[in-house]
Amino acid sequence: MKIIDLCAHQIFDSRGVPTLEARVALKDGTVGVGSAPSGASTGSHEARELRDGGDAYQGKGVGRAIENVNGPIREALLGMDAALQGRIDDRLQELDGSADKSRLGGNALIAVSWAVADAAARSAGMELYQWLGGAQARQLPCPMFNVVNGGRHANNNLEIQEFMFVPSGADSFHEAMRMGSECYHALRRLLSEAGLSTAVGDEGGFAPNLERDEQALEWMVRAIEAAGWKPGEDVCLALDCAAAEWADGEGYRQSKSGARFQRGEMIEFYHALAGRYPLISIEDPLGEEDFEGFREITDALGDDLMIVGDDLFTTNAERLFRGLALGAANAILIKPNQIGTVSETIETVQLARRNAYAVIVSHRSGETLSSAIADLAVAVNAEYIKAGAPARGERLAKYNRLLEIEDRIF
């Protein structure tokens, strides 16, 4: 079905920062929309967001990205068949011509790429996950709920960015949501009774000041029990250390306390944590260039834990390829805006799958109300989806969509 119009306009993300939404109109009258989320702890190898600079919006305006959609991108895609997502995404890459999508903007490209997928699915009368995954889509992901926020997602004193509940013992997505929600509310009550802050960070998790990062895990174990579930059986724990933020020359320096560590000490620290708490996954335990360190930690802990590459791989097949050759990590975080188009995202997932890496589809800390990543997770049979706490509209948009898919369709 032919594209007859394409435009973009400014919206605001969940942090109140400008972003863009693209709209694609097809000849049969179908309209599809797509938007660009935005990270805070972004990997250096991510597709570049195009921001205006200058005084307005602290330099974060997206006027130029919008002009690129309304000008050259519109021109290039008019008349193309929206059903041919691969061709459209190739065209977008060709038109941009840069290695990091900096010319037209990764934010412009991903919004358009999603809008085209949405329009094509609607025009075919299909659900987005069906359109993207075809007959292969058959599994709902297990949610990873980020319930304590630190690092760059909160101005508390926690160094680790994300502490997550993972209801891996749930029999259905509905049950997983119930577990996550009950544990989240139990955690709020416990923190509040202890006089700790229950104000939330960027992804809807609590952001208390604690003496040590491990205490977050202790509170979480208590919350699981208080909610009547079994830690390590019904509900496990996961971390996103976002340790690229701590990389400092050969070693690491944590951003808030200034504490310094060598790679080996970091790995020992994680080893000890995994012995003490029911952890099933550690994302970005080391820096984004530390492939060798990822290989070491995967050798040491990879039989029992998911070692997840986020900033390490940036959803980029070439970087994943490098990791595969070394045995660095055993799971990959998938964020479509890190690479810039839907097709490239799916290609990276396929490469991960062929090599038995687990797949976690993920939101960004600055989100929109789009639920497209929920459909993507189902389309590629992702084992997990990470979309923040079971609270806040932009986070629930993804989880609620999965509830809907389970109710109506599975």
Would you count residue 310 as binding Mg ion (CB under 5 A)? yes
C-alpha dihedral sign at 62, 67, 72, 76: positive
Angle at 369 between CA 366 and CA 374, to 5 degrees: 95
CB of 149 to ligand 2PG, least distance (A): 9
Q: Which two tokens stand for residue 368?
A: 């929109």
Phi, psi of 298 (to 5 degrees): -70, -40
What does the binding site for ligand 2PG look like in residue numbers (CB under 6 A)? 39-42, 162, 203, 240, 242, 310, 333, 362-365
3-state secondary structure 6-73: EEEEEEECCCCCEEEEEEEEECCCCEEEEECCECCCCCCCCCCCCCCCCCHHHHCCCHHHHHHHHHHH
State the catalytic residue, choosing from 335, 367, 383, 398.
335
Inter-residue contact 201 to 154 (CB < 8 Å): yes
Burial of 29 from C-beta contacts in 10 A (0-12 / 13-18 / 19+):
exposed
Which one of the spans 79-87, 99-107, 141-149, 309-317 is the region binding Mg ion (CB under 5 A)?
Answer: 309-317
> Nearest 10 degrees: CA dihedral of 148, 151, 156, 157?
110
Closest CB to Mg ion: residue number:
310
362 binds, among Mg ion, ligand 2PG, none (CB under 5 to 8 A by kind): ligand 2PG
CB of 125 to Mg ion, least distance (A): 36
Instruction: Report the residue number, 40 or 76, with the smaller CB distance to ligand 2PG.
Output: 40
335 catalytic? Reply is yes
364 binds, among ligand 2PG, Mg ion, none (CB under 5 to 8 A by kind): ligand 2PG
DSSP letter assigned to residue 251: E
State the catalytic residue, choosing from 49, 127, 203, 347.
203
337 binds, among Mg ion, ligand 2PG, none (CB under 5 to 8 A by kind): none
CB of 382 to ligand 2PG, least distance (A): 14
- Using CB under 5 A, which residues numbered 222 to 241 contact Mg ion? 240
Instruction: Report the residue number, 16 or 195, with the smaller CB distance to ligand 2PG.
Output: 16
C-alpha dihedral sign at 182, 187, 188, 193: positive
CB of 21 to Mg ion, least distance (A): 24
Inter-residue contact 19 to 36 (CB < 8 Å): yes
CB of 240 to Mg ion, least distance (A): 4
42 binds, among ligand 2PG, Mg ion, none (CB under 5 to 8 A by kind): ligand 2PG
The residues annotated as belonging to the active site are 203, 335
Residues that bind Mg ion (CB under 5 A): 240, 310
